[in-house]
Amino acid sequence: MTFARPDHICDLDTLPRMPAWVTSARAETPEDVAFLSGAALNHLHVVLGQSNVPQALLRDRLALQAAVACVGFSVRPERAGELRDAVHLLRPGDLPGPAGETCLTWRRAVERPVSIKALGRALPAFEPGQIAAWLDAGKGLPVTRAVMVLEAVLREVPRADVAGLILADAALAQALGWDHVVPLLAAALKLAALRKQGDDLRLACHRALISSAIEAVRQAADLARRAAHLKAVAPKLRAKGAGDAVEMFLTRDSVAPSALPLPDRAARRLCDRLVDLGAVRELTGRDTFRLYGV
């Protein structure tokens, strides 16, 4: 698959939308589904090449959505807000619980460039040699490669859905020349699809990638606009450490005031100021233990 060069797209006004013939098409045959998934991935590749898209923030938000989907596989009730709490409101010595651990696993998987070492950090239950062997199982075109990795993991460890999906996304990223894992498969695959094999699993993954690539492009455009606004209002912030705080908001799905490089009261005032400026949102709806994000 040959990807279009993104060099001609450089600002928000020209950040391209997914073509309507991709978003509205009803593909019936496996060939049509594969064609549309390739087109959707190609378009996402172009969008991810733009400097105005906050890449780390997008990956972190997609990681949260992947974690929500994976937690849902176990019929657990946690949604995005609860997973944010599980990660950000931990006290020293506390354990995040199964749902929180799933969220942390996905976040670790997208933080660093794809490598066996980085994947081993995200998946410490598996030896680096095993992770490398699974990735080596993927051959051929990008989606086929990802599917083969997913099959290899689930064949050896049948309930390792999170590891399988992370490594499948890693294989896809490597095949497409992306530096980091971009969570795509988990959010759009049903649990029943993960129990399929061969052509049936490949078809399910192609369908999932159409849906998830469309959503990733939409989120990239939305976050690019929000990030541009945050950068525009940043000079109005006078608090010492405000620049570092802004950088945290530009790279993380959500931030607790206590995590900002400011004293507690100053951090809360900064968050309130950013909300007043329309640059960040309060995500919890609570009066205490609040979380904020772009």
- Closest by CA to 239, choosing from 259, 275, 263, 205, is 263
Distance CA 89, CA 258 (A): 10
Hey, what are 58's tokens?
A: 């997008």
Could you write out the DSSP letters of every residue in 195-209? T--HHHHHHHHHHHH
Residue-level pLDDT at 13: 54
Handedness of CA 79, 85, 88, 90 (dihedral sign): negative
Hey, what are 3's tokens?
A: 């990807």
Report yes or no: 166 and 123 within 8 Å, Cβ to Cβ: yes
Q: If residue 282 lies in a helix (H) or strand (E), which one and from where to where?
A: strand 281-282
Q: What is the pLDDT along the chain (294 residues), one digit of tens a residue?
A: 433 433 333 455 567 888 888 888 788 799 999 999 999 999 999 999 999 999 999 999 999 999 999 999 987 778 999 999 999 988 888 888 999 999 999 999 999 999 999 999 999 999 999 999 999 999 999 999 999 999 999 999 999 999 999 999 999 999 999 999 999 999 999 999 999 999 999 999 999 999 999 999 999 999 999 999 999 999 999 888 899 999 999 999 999 999 999 999 999 999 999 999 999 999 999 999 999 999
* Cα atoms in the Cβ-side hemisphere of radius 13 Å centred on 109: 30
**Eight-state DSSP code of residue 255:** B
- Residue with token string 């991935």: 41
Distance CA 87, CA 60 (A): 13
The pTM of this model reads 0.92
Distance CA 157, CA 126 (A): 11
| Three-class SS state of 292 | strand
Report the length, in residues, of the chain: 294
Report yes or no: 114 and 135 within 8 Å, Cβ to Cβ: no
| Three-class SS state of 293 | strand
